[in-house]
Each structure stands twice: as C-alpha cells, then as structure tokens.
Amino acid sequence: MVAPWQDTTLPAHTRAADLLARMTTEEKTAQLSSAWIGADTGGADVAPGQHAYAARSAALDALLPHGLGHLTRPFGTVPVEPAEGAARLAELQRTIRAGNRFGVPAIAHEECLTGFTAWQATICPTPLAWGATFDPALITEMAQAIGTSMRAVGIHQGLAPVLDVVRDPRWGRTEECVGEDPYLVGTIGTAYVRGLEAAGIVATLKHFAGYSASRAARNHAPASLGPRELADVILPPFEMAVRDGGARSVMPAYNDLDGLPAHAHAELLTQLLRDQWGFTGTVVSDYYGVSLLEEAHRVADGEGHAARLALAAGVDVELPAARCFTPADPLPEDLLDRAALRVLTQKCELGLLDPDWKPVTDGAPVDLDPPHLRDLARKVAEESVVLLANDSGMLPLSDGPHIALLGPLADEQAAMLGCYTFPRHVGVHHPELPTGVDVPTLAEALRTELPGAVFVDDPTAADVCLVVVGDRSGLFGRGSSGEGCDAEDLQLPYGQAAVLDEAMECGVPVVVVVLSGRPYALGRWADRAAAVVQAFFPGQEGGGAVAGVLSGRVDPSGRLPVGVPRGPGGQPAPYLAPPLGRHGFPSTVDPTPLYPFGHGLSYTTFSWDQPQCDAPEFATDGETALRLTVRNTGDRPGTEVVQFYLHDPVGTVARPEVRLVGYARVTLDAGASAEVHAAFPADLAAYTGADGRRVVEPGALELHLAASSAHVHHTVPLTLTGPVLEVGHERRMWCETRVK
C-alpha cells in the first residue's frame, strides 16, 4: 500500500502535506536548499561573489542524507557535451534519491534567457530583440521549443524571463529586458512564460521588483521610485505573467526599495504577490541574494538572521547553494513548514514524488540545436531587425556594388550574442573550446547573401560603406553590455565614434549597422548617414537576419522597444514621461529621442483608413471596439505594426503623455489590405491615483492609432461615463486584437 504522498490520484497539495508531516526539521530545511556542483572551479564569476560564497556553502555530501531542494546549473556552469550532461544529471539524481529516506529527487534549474544556456544549444536573440518583434505568438513558440529541449535532458525550471522595464539604458542589463514600456514587456514576457510552461518547464519571473530603476543605472544600486511608478510601470508585467501566463516561480531582485531589500520585503513577496495576486508557486532567491542581506544591505547580523528575514518575507528556496538556509541555525518551524510545503507541492506537480519517477536518460544522442529551434531563432532575429532611417533609399542593397565593410564588429561573433548566451557567459573562460553552434558574423553572412558584391578595403573605392558598431557582451566589467557592465553615458564604446566619423568623411554613402545590447546616441551622424539599421544581439541566426534586411530579402518589420537617444550625455526621456519630463521651457536640455519608442521603417508603404469606433462613449466598467483597415500601397510584401496609445488629457496625478495599450502586426502582400479589430476595455485607462488606489475615472480620453509613440495616424476621441471605479487584480489588462 502506497503512502498518501505517493498516491498520484490525490491533489498535489494533499500529497505534499502528507510528506511534510513525515519529515524531520533537517529534511524540511533540505528542501529549501540547493547545491551548485562545480561552482568553485576555475574561471571568473558568473554570479556576484560566486567563488567566495561557494567556498562557504554546504557540500553536497553533507546535504544528501536529508535530501535536496534544487540542483543549480548542471549544464550551464562548465561546458559539457549534451548526451554526457544528461547522463551525469541522471546519475546525480539517482544519488540524491538514494541518499534520502523518501527517495525525493531535486529540481534541476538552468538559465534560458537566450535559449538553453548550455554548450551546443541554440542561441536565440536576446529579450530586447523579442520586444522589437511585437510578436507574442512567435515568442511563445520559441519559448516552448526552448523548454522542450531543456525538459528532454532532465531540467525542470528555467530562470527566465526578465520582466524589468527599462528606465535608464545605461544599465548593463538593458539587453536582458524586453523594453521600456510595461504593456510591451508584459505581453511579450507573458508569451514567453506560456511557451516555457507549455513545455513543462517552471518559468521564473525576475527580478521582482524595481531592479531596472536603480540610481544612475548602476547594477545592485538602490531603486529610486515612488509608489505610483512601482504600481503602474514596474509591477504590471509581473502581474500579467502570474495571472495570465501561469508562471510558477518568482525571483526577488538584488535592489532595495526605499531601504527595504526585495529579499526581505514581506509586503512585496507575500502581501502583494500571494495575498493579492493569488500566486501559489515558489519564490527562489537570486544567487546569493539571502547572503547579501547580511553582506551588502547590512540588515542582518549573520547568516541565520538573513535566513529568517528572507523566509519571513516569503523566500522559499535559497539559490544557488545552501549557505543560510541550513539546520545550523534553526528556522522558525511555521515558516519552515510554509516554504517546504510549497517546494514539495511543486515537486509533486513536476512528477518528482511519483513512485515510478526516474531520471531522463536513454543513452540516445541529444541535439540541443535542432532545425526547428534554429528556424524559430532565425524568424525572431529577422522580425527584430529595425530599419531606423533610409531617407536616401540606399537600402536595400543591390547584389553588384563594391562594398567597404568597416567597424570592429563587422566580422566578430560577439556582436550577435548577449551576456546570457553560453559562449559569452561561460565559454569565454574556455578559449580552447569551439563555440558549439554555428554563429556566422555579419561579414560572413553578407558574402553569402550578396555573392555578386565586391568587398573592398578602401572606402573611397566603394559604392557604399557599411560601418558595423555596437557592443561586446560580458559579465561584471568583461564587456560593454551585460550584467555588471553599466555605462556612464550612451556614447558608442571602444572608440567606435571615431570609426564612424572617419567613414563619414570618405565621400561615399554610409550605412550604419548597430549590433548592441542597449541603444546608443546616434544624433551625431543622423543627418549624414544614408541609412541606419539596429539589431539587439540577434543570436546565432542574427548575421543572416541582418544581411537579409540589408539585401532586401527580408522586409524590415522590427520596431524599437526602447528609444534611441540623440546625444550621449543623457538618456532620452522614457516616452512614458509626463509633460514636465519632456522638452520645453525652462530647461535647455532636450531629452527627445532621435528615434522614438515603437519606431521602425519598411521597404514598402502603407495607408491607414479612417478607423471606426463602435461606441465612443462607454461606461467605466465597459469596453468599446475599433476597426481599422491597413493597405500595402507599395510594390512588395511587408509588415506594418499598428500601435494603440492612450492619452489622458487630465488626471488627478501627473500622467504620461501617451502609453501603449495594444498593438497588432499586419503582414500584407503588395496591394493587399487587412482589417485590424481591437477590443478596448475601460480597465486599460486605470492608473494609481493620489490616494494609492487604482481607479478608472470618467471623462475624456484619446486613443492614438500610431506607427510609433510619436507618429500618430488617427486620433479617436473617447468618453468614459459613470462613477469612479476602483479596480484590482481582476481587471482586464489586455487589448485583444485580431487581423483579418
């Protein structure tokens, strides 16, 4: 007769509770612990203080008799051949099961921000590129394929997506973010969550919350933001991904909020996340985040105190290794039971408590770079390339010109890869190792794309100069973009401004190609460049995607998820700024971006008919519907991105001039048309008022139908009627759109 915790016909929570009641204090504590095999091996840190902390963390042998909650990065710590890695993980799980009296395995987690962060795994575009696609359906498909490859080798949880909203692009982790708008971040991020969860992988939302709003864009710095900015800008993407995406894990941020570290923030991790939003999954610490309560924030006077603060706030698992959550300093029994029950319930949902569970391995070859996933990486890369300027009509290039290909990144793989790709995250510490997947540089891709072109070294002998500039990603100062690689200003790094200046003086048309992890100031060359193309670390298929846009094989359809600044000395005002955040008297500083949020051009042209609104006047608890016909008036296929922005003329607090509340990609053959339908609920007009309540107010609104936040085609006046309506977690957060 099986015990209730082994009975697969019972609910997961019931089974987990039965097992919990049978456990000792040491066994319960072990379920909150993790082990990072190989964290103390050679190479630079891939987590803050990794090697120092690893030396002071509990060894696996000491943990095994009581069990283990998590296994940290069995594939992503050091290079391992996929089939060998799967076999090693399976053997490790058998050891863990044999070591504890209940035979419970560990949850194995990995990074998957740009695909599975493992050697020989497909490298997808970075999240900033996801945002540039404005294509949630494609991101869901990509995420599901990533999750399927992870699940096939025994991984259960992915530490993605990042839902931080960009507030200052000098922040090094800008490349990991989807964009500067909470609606775009929320819809694209939720799409990624849905795909990962559909593959059976636990999605982990990070970093909760305020990490991207750090002072002066410094990593780990305090976050300076008021309660309304937190409620209306920072939190909505997380709420959408929990409620509508089904995310089963959340990771707190490293920063503090008004002096209270997120890892010790009960109002954030329990009262908001669980009590208000109804989250039932696990909260896992960011790497060494519990230790940092003592050693960085200094709100704890020892490891045990840090553990109690984190556990009381709502942290359930200490990652990446057991240092604070240990039996050496006993944890309050009620809090210990609360966290252990959550972990065991999740293990039950994953099948890890089933009597017939066994590790994934059959000795067959493992392909972590399958054709289907490469194809999805290519599609995302192609849809993410943004044509910023082409006034001269220089693009697309013909196949026969003499081309001078300049710039330090023209023939470098690093220009395609974000800091959470395996080659830039771990591979840089193993120079003897091949990349593991094919990553053509832009130079290589262009020679394939334009076989009739002649590439020359002398710009004055060319018909056109392509100048490729941007970033090399890295960690903790080992790159110009990435975690711990913050910038003092938005000047192009590595002296690349001089390369552009020199090219502009050669008398030949110059096409600027930016391959980067953040937007850079381009105003110095905007009037002299023949064309400007932007791609945000587009992954292993990125070289072909950018080359395809330059040749015209791919019609550019990406739109900016962040504004591009004019000058390097200060960031452009986020387009969500209220009136005082925009250019005007009495300041001499103009923060207007050179290219605004949502901007992007095509090689064809479009016209937008006058929209039709079913009910321009509707109640504060109602909705209206709009229809808009878009026509391709050019001579080639192309994609337009219809964007819906809300303008509130008068509010009880200062409001953004406009904010995104919906969008739709419309792909049309030459001469074709399609009708965009959008359902606009009044809840989308909600904001946090002076008293801290989120309300929908009666009064006049405007809905802007636009090609970017600054390029409005049509304005639809709306009027909300009825009483002021307070709305909460059940409010409608999506503008449902369809194209037919």
pLDDT score, position 328:
83
pTM metric for this prediction:
0.97
- Would you list the DSSP string of 238-297? HHHHHHTT---EEEE-SSEETTEEGGG-HIIIIIIIIIIT---SEEBPPTTHHHHHHHTS
What is the amino acid identity at position 173?
A: R
Closest-CA residue to 601 (of 380, 381, 393): 393
- The Cα–Cα gap between 471 and 528 comes to 22
Q: Are 555 and 205 within 8 A, CB to CB? A: no
Average pLDDT over residues 664-671: 98
**Is residue 435 helix, strand or coil?**
coil
- The Cα–Cα gap between 211 and 213 comes to 5
- The Cα–Cα gap between 500 and 79 comes to 38
pLDDT band at 636 (very low <50, low <70, confident <90, very high): very high
Is residue 220 annotated as part of the catalytic site, yes or no?
yes
CATH topology for 606-739? Answer: Immunoglobulin-like (2.60.40)
pLDDT score, position 360:
85
Is residue 207 annotated as part of the catalytic site, yes or no?
no
- The Cα–Cα gap between 497 and 512 comes to 11
The domain locations on the chain are 51-349, 385-576, 606-739
CATH topology for 51-349? Answer: TIM Barrel (3.20.20)
Question: Is the fold of 51-349 the same as that of 385-576?
Answer: no
- The Cα–Cα gap between 683 and 697 comes to 10
Q: Are 240 and 205 within 8 A, CB to CB? A: no
Angle, in degrees to the nearest 10, between helices 182-198 and 136-151: 40
Average pLDDT over residues 586-597: 89
- What confidence tens digit (pLDDT) does each residue in 364-407 have? 789 999 999 999 999 999 999 999 999 999 999 988 899 999 99
- What confidence tens digit (pLDDT) does each residue in 293-343 have? 999 999 999 999 999 999 999 999 999 999 999 988 888 999 999 999 999
> Domain 385-576 class?
alpha beta
Radius of gyration of the chain (CA): 26
Secondary element (H or E) of residue 311: helix 303-313
Marked catalytic residue, from 220, 305, 647, 714: 220
52 pLDDT more than 80: no
pLDDT band at 439 (very low <50, low <70, confident <90, very high): very high
Average pLDDT over residues 437-463: 96
42 pLDDT more than 90: no
- What confidence tens digit (pLDDT) does each residue in 98-141 have? 999 999 999 999 999 999 999 999 999 999 999 999 999 999 99
What is the amino acid identity at position 136?
A: P
Average pLDDT over residues 503-531: 96
pLDDT score, position 43:
60
What is the amino acid identity at position 261?
A: P
Marked catalytic residue, from 45, 168, 232, 286: 286
